[in-house]
């Protein structure tokens, strides 16, 4: 499998090189040159497979030529192991929970950090270790997080022999559980940085560091956020998993996806293009609604950032949206590069009407404010006894308001465990005590390690240079 850049100027790479590259050299994002496509018969034959076996069938084409089947199978078995000593706490890995007649939540929070990011980042850590050991290389990871990516990335990479990981989060803008999940994981290769700014500031520093890597003195920089293709690839699997549980591929399924960066829902779009019958994808956002403004009115314009009760979606610009733009423009890299240059200059973007209309055939969207989020948490708890985190609640609200057909199963992606967001649960007035799962029971007693830095690129890069070799200077 070869991968090409969304801006058309970077060389095509194999999977191994894409894994290590993150961002393409022309500033674009890597996508497969040709997407694999499965027949309905082929997908139907996967019904009843354990999660790791399904993952192998779905992802195998993406790694072909880079990882032998036997090695890849072993990596996936370790990644999605359950039971004693396993990574995931539920035997189904991603169980479906019914909310109503034909309405479901796909619980993606049974991993070590209680968020959907575990599905991709547990795999990414193992893939990196595999490839780096083979090559005899060391790398530095720099990542930005609005809450969940950071802990999942640290948890996924903490055992990696050849990786130092630096995760930046906006200081005092993530929940306490989210912060502690990052800052209490010990290891000389783990570095937490709190930036005195917002998530977009952290993200910009990561992008700027990729553009100029001189401060790393020759060590390679790797991305773990959703621009890394391996993240997207791993997320495609649970769309197939959910659909197969609900009668797919003989019937189509609809999905509502809480999303800020567009990575998780883009995986659903790819699942559909690979042959899975998906009739509708709903973009569920909070007040920071750049994606909703595009889907509902063809306006992808930068706006002010509003802190909310669903902080993982407090994002002004969605990194992965570029991958969809590439497809909407007939995979014309130059057209995408010109569009994004104009966006950088003006902060405004719209596409030609026919391209937008094409997107609308599949996508709907809704922006949900904090009051509606709390009302949905309370409503679902009253109706079912199920407690939703605020991001999942936004997904459920959007699913109920945008649903095109009651006869098609509607699946909302349950992106995080409610215990991570006690403020939202409290404001919803749900009188239920939130308990941390057993493996995190002592989270509030564990010592924390974190460095607060000014919102300055040079300060961050100097810190990485000083600590990038298992805590020592590069």
Residues with catalytic annotation? 117
- Sheet containing strand 139-144, edge to edge, reads 220-222, 139-144, 163-170, 190-195, 451-453
- The SS3 call for residue 339 is helix
The Cα–Cα gap between 292 and 398 comes to: 11
The Cα–Cα gap between 94 and 204 comes to: 33
The Cα–Cα gap between 96 and 92 comes to: 9
Q: How far is CA 33 from CA 12, 36, 219, 285, 436, in A?
A: 8, 10, 28, 30, 43
Q: How far is CA 265 from CA 53, 254, 255, 272, 466, in A?
A: 22, 12, 9, 11, 37
CA neighbor of 4 nearest in space, from 73, 18, 352: 18
CA neighbor of 430 nearest in space, from 442, 421, 441, 439: 421
Where are any strands of DSSP class E within 91-222?
96-100, 103-107, 139-144, 163-170, 190-195, 220-222
Rounded to 5°, the CA angle 13-14-18 comes to: 70
Say if residue 187 is exposed, middle or buried (CB neighbours under 10 Å; 0-12, 13-18, 19+). middle
Ranges of H-type helices in 136-228? 148-157, 176-183, 199-211
Four-CA torsion 441, 442, 446, 452, nearest 10 degrees: 40
């Amino acid at each position: 499998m070869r991968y090409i850049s969304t801006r058309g100027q970077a060389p095509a790479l194999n999977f191994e090189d894409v894994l290590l590259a993150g961002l393409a050299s022309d500033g674009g994002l890597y996508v497969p040159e040709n997407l694999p496509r499965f027949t309905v018969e082929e997908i139907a034959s996967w019904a009843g497979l354990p999660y790791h076996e399904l993952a192998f069938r779905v992802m195998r084409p993406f790694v072909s030529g880079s990882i032998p089947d036997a090695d890849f199978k072993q990596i996936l078995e370790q990644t999605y192991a359950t039971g004693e000593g396993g990574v995931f706490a539920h035997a189904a890995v991603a169980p479906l929970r019914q909310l109503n007649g034909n309405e479901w939540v796909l619980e993606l929070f049974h991993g070590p950090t209680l968020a959907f990011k575990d599905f991709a980042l547990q795999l990414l850590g193992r893939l990196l270790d595999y490839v780096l050991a083979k090559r005899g290389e060391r790398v530095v990871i720099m990542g930005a997080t609005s809450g969940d990516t950071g802990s999942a990335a640290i948890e996924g990479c903490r055992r990696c022999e050849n990786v130092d990981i630096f995760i930046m989060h906006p200081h005092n803008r993530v929940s306490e559980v989210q912060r502690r999940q990052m800052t209490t994981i010990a290891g000389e290769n783990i570095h937490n940085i709190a930036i005195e700014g917002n998530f977009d500031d952290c993200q910009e520093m990561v992008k700027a560091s990729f553009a100029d890597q001189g401060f790393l003195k020759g060590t390679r920089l790797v991305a773990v956020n959703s621009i890394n293709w391996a993240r997207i690839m791993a997320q495609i699997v649970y769309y197939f998993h959910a659909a197969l549980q609900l009668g797919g591929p003989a019937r189509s399924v609809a999905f509502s996806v809480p999303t800020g960066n567009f990575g998780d829902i883009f995986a659903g779009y790819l699942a559909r293009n690979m042959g899975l019958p998906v009739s509708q994808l709903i973009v569920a956002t909070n007040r920071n609604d750049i994606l909703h403004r595009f889907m509902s009115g063809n306006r992808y314009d930068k706006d002010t950032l509003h802190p909310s009760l669903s902080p993982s979606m407090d994002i002004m610009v969605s990194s992965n949206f570029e991958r969809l733009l590439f497809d909407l423009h007939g995979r014309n890299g130059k057209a995408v590069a010109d569009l994004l240059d104009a966006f950088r200059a003006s902060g405004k973007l719209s596409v030609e009407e026919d391209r937008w209309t094409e997107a609308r055939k599949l996508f709907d969207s809704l922006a949900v404010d904090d009051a509606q989020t709390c009302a949905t948490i309370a409503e679902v708890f009253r109706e079912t006894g199920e407690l939703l985190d605020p991001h999942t609640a936004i997904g459920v609200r959007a699913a109920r308001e945008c649903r095109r057909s009651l006869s098609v199963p509607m699946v909302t992606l349950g992106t995080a465990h409610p215990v991570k967001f006690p403020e939202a649960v409290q404001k919803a007035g749900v009188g239920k005590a939130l308990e941390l799962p057993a493996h995190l029971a002592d989270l509030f007693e564990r010592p924390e390690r974190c460095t607060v830095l000014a919102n300055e690129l040079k300060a961050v890069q100097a810190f990485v240079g000083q600590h990038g070799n298992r805590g020592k200077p590069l």
